[in-house]
Amino acid sequence: MATKLLYLYDSYLREFEAKVESVNGNLVVLDQSAFHPLTGGVGCDTGWLVKNDARVRVVHVEIDRATKIVSHVVEAEPIGVAHGDVVKGVIDWDRRYCLMRLHTAAHLIAAVMYRDYSALITGGQVDVDQAKLDFNLPRTDREVFEDAVKKANEEVAKRAELKIYFLSRDEALKVPGMVKLAERMPPEERELRIVEIPGIDLQADGGPHVKNTGETGEIQLLRIENKGRNQRRIYFGINRS
Ligand SMILES: [Zn+2]
């Protein structure tokens, strides 16, 4: 059975209780989890699984695309847990919060690049210390990216509240502006999780974000790489303190 993904409903949930579905070597499957797996271009969480006084470190989390089952990779033999046991999951919050901030920053940069430079995003990865985004853009000028980061920081300064809500595919197809998102989703996805940064960005998106653009903090342009014909990569970070 697919794991219930608690972070979809509350990205600020740091601890949760869950039932153990299975233990296979160092892979633990729970009925529900707040751990974000490595998916959607955003790094995975780490943390701990706790039972009574024992705890084991979660070093990696992955999701099976077909079954939507989340596997928690633990660093040692699981703490004597078996099917049906209740454990507590604890997210490494410092790491997660950085991922949420950088992920939200990625939305802002991508939105500005599209709005002002018609640049389409072709790939990307948000890690804990930095994020990268690839754009289809013939221009190599550093000024383009400096401008995009400056404008993204203007959105940070506006301290806009993000809106996160769910729409059925049919509902989304009726809303102007959502049609493209709905059409891009695979038909078997009957519900869309919409992430809206008012006035600048609208995405169908399953990742964790901050509640307010102000939480992102100042975005810093780290470097730009030329990845071939019309492909430009930007690396950026945030102040972690
Ligand atoms: Zn997102």
Q: Give residue 127 CA to ligand 1 midpoint distance, Å.
A: 13
Q: Give residue 50 CA to ligand 1 midpoint distance, Å.
A: 29
DSSP type of residue 6: G
Q: Give residue 209 CA to ligand 1 midpoint distance, Å.
A: 6
Q: Which of 17-26, 145-154, 182-191, 215-224 has the lowest mean pLDDT?
A: 182-191
pTM for the structure as a whole:
0.93
Most confident of the ranges 154-163, 166-175, 184-193, 227-236: 154-163
Q: Give residue 83 CA to ligand 1 midpoint distance, Å.
A: 33
Q: Give residue 10 CA to ligand 1 midpoint distance, Å.
A: 14
Task: Give the confidence band of 188 by pLDDT, cuts at 50, 70, 90.
Answer: confident
Mean pLDDT of 203-213: 93
DSSP type of residue 207: S
One-letter identity of residue 226: N
The helix-helix angle for 93-117 and 142-157 (nearest 10°) equals 120
Q: Which of 43-52, 99-108, 183-192 has the lowest mean pLDDT?
A: 183-192
